[in-house]
Copies of this chain bind each other. A is one copy, B any other.
Amino acid sequence: MEFTFLGTSAGTPTRARNVTGLALRHGSGRHWYLVDCGEGTQHRLLHTRYSLARLQAIFITHVHGDHTFGLPGLLTSASMNGRTDPLPIIGPPQLKTFIDTSLANSDSTLSFELRFIDSETEDFHWQDRAMDVTGTALSHRVPCQAYTFTERDLERRLLTDRLEADGVGAGPDWGRLQKGEDVVRENGTVLRSEDYTTIDRRPRRLVVAGDNDTPELLAETCHQADALIHEATYTQDVADRVGPWPQHSSAKQVARFAQAAGLPNLVLTHFSARYPARAPSGPVISDIADEAREVYHGTLFLARDLDHYRLNKDHNLECDRS
């Protein structure tokens, strides 16, 4: 599994950070998924290898503009580029009103079908061949979701001893069984893939959270997750000064949760514009990292735009700095 940050700033863009967007790929094909779509997401994509023609689905955590205002432009660009495949958009119901009105009042029509899926139903669950996606309700000023991506269709290893013991010699049937297909032999007997193959590893799992002031809501879905991507809009001192109304998390809060949950990897993002990379005085982005490291002892990353991450089959998370 791979992912690339398209934006890591809270509320407004800065020179270095766009507002929220994340491109996620299973890695076994060129299809990919987009989580949130702040203004300028399509611009960031021009600097990556993700193509709008291969976009498999869009997941929106909540309706705030810094997570949604890039949708009309991204969709019309996909249309101008000739996309024809239907596109699922998973998110709160107001998204449909926003998108439909934006298209209707800009004389736009799309060359492909949009399929709106309400993320706020209690039994929300989505999957395609490569990925299984569930939602977890968070605590923010508006309804907001975390999406948990669990890979499907893991590679199978043939139990060759058993095949040979049952008189099934090497041949095309082995290939089918390994792909997960059952095989009917010439004599009418059925070989079931699950009897002759095994899966040697657990699926990779990534939790991508929207804005949230209560990380503990993620406890259950973070069980067996390899990594959590979560906002850390402020350091604790700034969060205390700002007060509870924005309903965001501090670095300390998220780090404390991640440590308690035993999460091996934590990626913080969605930083207030008050934390630049460098400044002669006042807060800087490394304050966020310092605060998180005080309580979290797993592998910590602070997201930057266009940084590319690989979650390997051995469950290690690696980052190629952009």
Contacts and interface: CB of A to CB of B under 8 A. Distances in A.
B46 A80 contact: no
A76 B63 CA distance: 14
Contacts of A40: 39-40, 43, 73
A43 to B, nearest CB: 5
A80 B11 contact: yes
A176 interface: no
Contact of A105 (B42, B63, B81): B63
Interface residues of A, number: 39
Interface string A41-71: 0110011000000000000000111101110
Interface in A11-29: 11-15, 18-19
Contact of A18 (B15, B43, B64): B43
Given A39-B42, A70-B39, A101-B97, A65 B108 contact: yes
Contacts of A105: 63, 94-95, 97-98, 101
Copies of this chain held together in the complex: 2
Interface in A89-120: 94-95, 97-98, 101-102, 105-108
Nearest to A78: B12
A39 B95 contact: no
A73 B80 contact: no
A43 B107 CA distance: 24
A142 interface: yes
A70 B11 CA distance: 15
Contacts of A77: 11-13
Contacts of A70: 39
Contacts of A73: 19, 38-40, 65-66, 69
A141 interface: yes
A107 B141 contact: yes
Nearest to A108: B65
Contacts of A180: none
Given A12-B77, A46-B13, A76-B65, A106 B102 contact: no
A40 B73 CA distance: 10
A88 interface: no
A262 interface: no
Given A68-B106, A101-B101, A13 B43 contact: yes
A276 interface: no
A72 interface: yes
Given A12-B42, A12-B80, 19 more contacts: A12-B77, A13-B46, A13-B77, A38-B73, A39-B40, A39-B43, A39-B69, A43-B43, A64-B107, A64-B108, A65-B72, A65-B76, A69-B73, A69-B76, A95-B105, A97-B101, A98-B105, A98-B106, A107-B141
Interface of A: 11-15, 18-19, 38-40, 42-43, 46-47, 63-66, 68-70, 72-73, 76-77, 80-81, 94-95, 97-98, 101-102, 105-108, 141-142
7 contacts: A12-B81, A39-B72, A63-B107, A65-B73, A65-B108, A66-B73, A69-B73
